[in-house]
Structure formats: structure tokens, C-alpha cells
Structure 1
Amino acid sequence: MSDTSAVSSSSAPPEPVPPRPSVLTRALAAPGLLPAVSFIAIVAIWEISCLLFNIPSYILPAPSRIAGGFDAIPITRWLDHVWGTLRVALIGYFASIAIAIPIAISLARSELLSRAFYPMLVVVQSTPVVAIAPIIIVGLGSGDLPRVVITCLITFFPLVVSTTTGLMATPPELIELSRSLRAPVWREITQIRLPFAIPYIFSALKISVTLSVIGAVVAEFVAADKGLGYLIQFSTSMFKIQQAWAGLVVLVLMSLVLFQAVVAVQRIWFPWSLPKEK
């Protein structure tokens, strides 16, 4: 009986060895490589299409012409425009954080305040900021303050809604436990509610940091003497389309850098709030 089992076990087929992934598959699995390849392919198709179909540069300039638009402006002038937009975007962004989180805590703590003020927040968000931007400029002048206010108005609402949602997502049994132990309100907020709201808060921070750049540009369209939004508006009015597209490229890069900065902050200081990789 034992000989038969030994023979049967020795004659069992070996387990199949999984095929080794090809070099191309391993290369495409590298982080960031596939988006880079896709971006290069889109730029190449864009350049070739402009050459083949002879598209006028004032309608859609080729990437090579847009690159020439960078050389038309001195580097010191570029830095002045970039800093003008970045400064307003960051000030408005951090101001909206400082205002939105305390309001979200108040709304999560009090149902009466939530019912009273949440519709007002929706009304503020529903009002087109582009329409009221000239009114804000007239009321507050032409300095940085009205541009910061416009940026804050655009970035404010996602922070309030997501933070309130995260604070309300705290398991009720933990809230009841903290209150049964007579824990202070500030400990309930800082040690129970806010940790559960961190993923929601960072989702809003990632959205708002890109909206802050949009808010700064909208404000520069209305009243400004420097900034990337001002550069784009001035360049298009003078039919310098390559310069306008160059300014747009810089704006996109600025938004990407700010977005990745928020991602890096979450990854370094709050890694437990990131979704689990499958």
C-alpha cells in the first residue's frame, strides 16, 4: 500500500511554473513610465498633425512653436509672473483651510448650525465667482486682497463639505464612549473625529490646491499687472498666441507641482490615511 502511494506521488505532474513577464511588461509596470510615454506620444501626434494639416498657429500652435514662446520673454519676467500667481494661490489656499476647517467642525458638532448655514454655503458656491469678481475688485481695491478673496471663495466649498463629511463619518460608538468617559470636547475632535476625517480632508486639499491656481488666474483676468493669468490675457490681446500657450503650460505645471506636494505631505506624515494597495 505504501509502495503504491509512493509511486503515485512520484508520478504526479509537477506544478506549472508561471511565465516570466517580458521586458516590455516589466518596463511598463515601472511607476510613472506609462504616463510619460503617453504624454510624449500625444505631443508627437500634436506636432505631426499641425505640420500635416497646416493648422494656423493662431488657432493651434505646434509644441515646437510653443517652446519658442518661452524664449520671447526674459527669465526674470517669467519668474515675476510665476511668483505673482503662486503667491496669491497659496495665500488664498491656506486662508480657505484656516476658515473651512473650524466651520466644518462647528457644522459637524451642531445639527442646528448645519441646517442654518449649510444652505448659505451652497448659495455662495452656486454664485459664479467670475460674475462677482469685478464687484469684489471695486469693493476691495486692486491689490492682492481681492485676488486672495476670489481664490478663497473658489477653494472654500470643497474643504468645508469634505471635512464635514469626514467628521460625521466617525463611528458613533466611539463618540458615545468618549462622552461616557467625560472626555473634553477638544479631545473628541482632535483624537477621534479628525483622525477619521483625514482621508476626506486630503481629498479636498488635493482638489482645492488646483482650484487655488484657477482662482488666482480668474482674479488676474479681472485686475492685475502681473501673473500668468495677466500674461495669457495680454498675449492673446496682442495675438502672441505662442506666449499665451507657454503661460498655459506653466500654469499646468504649477498645478501639478502643488498637487504632488499635497500628495507628498499625506504620504510622509499621514501614510495610514492612504488607500491600501491591492
Structure 2
Amino acid sequence: MQNRLSSKAKAIFKPTLFCLVFTSLFVVLSFFKNFLPSSAERLSHGIIGTLAAFVATWLFLTFDKKKFSAIELYFDRKTIIRFLVGVLVGVSIMGLLAAGVMYFTNVGIKLNQNSNIWYFLVGTTPLIPLAFMEELGFRAYPLQILKDKTSIRLSIVITSILFALYHIVNGWTIASSFLGPAVWGLIFGIAAIYSKGIAMPTGIHYAANLTTSAFGAKDNPTSIWTITPTDTVTTTFHGMDLTIILPSIAILVLGLLTMEVYLRRKSITNNSLA
């Protein structure tokens, strides 16, 4: 029993070290943002983060004497398709979440008359490298190494926790990090395992951020919809913000159910082949 725990601890150490190296490189390289236009802050943030994730991945793969393909990191003709499928999945999930929040809190939404769809799409383009850098940093090397050394379930849970800790280091609160990135990490993780790569989780990640950005103030041209409180609005319950708690619970349940269904089907398939 003790040897098994020791083996798992060693397996967890390297992916954790990877995330520390990635975050440290990101912090160091972020110094160069001072030489870039402030108007391109989000884009430069994503590009620098992607560079940091690639460097960290290259360092660890070199140490392991492995190629990028060993962690399902390569580009082929299906990569774009997987990304677009991920975008559709992400938009669908966010649409259902928005509908659920509106139903349970009586909050309404309406089209922002000052919105400009072209301005919105251009303004949110940096969300693609921002999503890609985090999927590269958490659902490529760390997830694949953990999956091979432990199990699919444990690898997804651990990388989701590491994802939350990364956001805490970046200034997020503990609650927001575990109610947001951690639960979404379950969705991203199972998508990466299922699709054998990070194209699909990157698409889901991008779509989630894109849909969130579509909501804003009516004087904001980058927002497509504005939230309209009604006379019967109930956004709190015993001091809890339902607009945050309800989506988090829904994503947590969806992530856990999807993971267990996938693992059960995989087990059935393996038993049939055996």
C-alpha cells in the first residue's frame, strides 16, 4: 500500500513541476509585454503564454527523450475540425447554462443595440491564443503523463486542481478558481482524453470565454447581449450568488457524469476486445 502511494506521489511530482516551470517561464517572459502596445495586452499575453508552454513542454520532453507526438501534440488535417467541434460543444454548454440561470433567477437578456459583430469578433480574437496556452500548459504534457502513470480519472482531477492553483497564483480568489477553472478543467480534460489532443478542449475553452465576453454593458460595443434585471429577479440564495453557483454546479455534474460514462464505455470496449 505504501509503495503504491509512493509511486503515485512520484507520478504527480513531474506534472506539478511542469506547471511550476511553465508558470515561472510565463512570469519571466511577461516582462517583454512592457515593450509591446498596451492595446494588444491580451494578444501578447496569449502569445507569450503559448511560448512559455511550448518551451516548458520541449524541456520536459527532451529530458524524457520523447517526441511531441508522444503526448498527442501534433497538427494534422483533423485538428481544425476538432477545434470547431469543440467550439460548437462550448457554445452549446454555455447556451444551456445561460438559459438555466435565466430560468432560476428570472434574469433576462436583450440584444445590445450598440453592438458591432465585426468589432466583437476582432476584439475577442486574442481569446484563441489565451485558451490554447492554458490547454497546452495543462492538458498536454501534464495530463498525458499523469494518464500513463496513474489513471484517466485521477489525471483529469489533478490537472483540474493544478489549473485552479495556477489561477490563484495569477490573482484569482480561491473560491473563483475552484468554482470556475477547476470545474471547467474536468470538461477540458475529458475532451482532451476523448479526442486524443488539445484541439477540441481549446475550442471548448475558447467558446466558453467567447460566450462570456458576449455579455456586458449596453455601452460596450464588444458585448452582444446585456443583462436586464426584472421585478422578480432573485440572484442570491442564502448569501450565495446564483449566477456563479448554479453554472459551477452544473459544469461539475456534467464533467463528472461525462467522465464516468466515458470510462464505463471504455471499460466495456476493453472487456469485449479481451
- TM-score if structure 2 supplies the norm length? 0.28
Higher relative contact order (CA 8 A, sep 6+): 2
The structure richer in strand per residue is 2
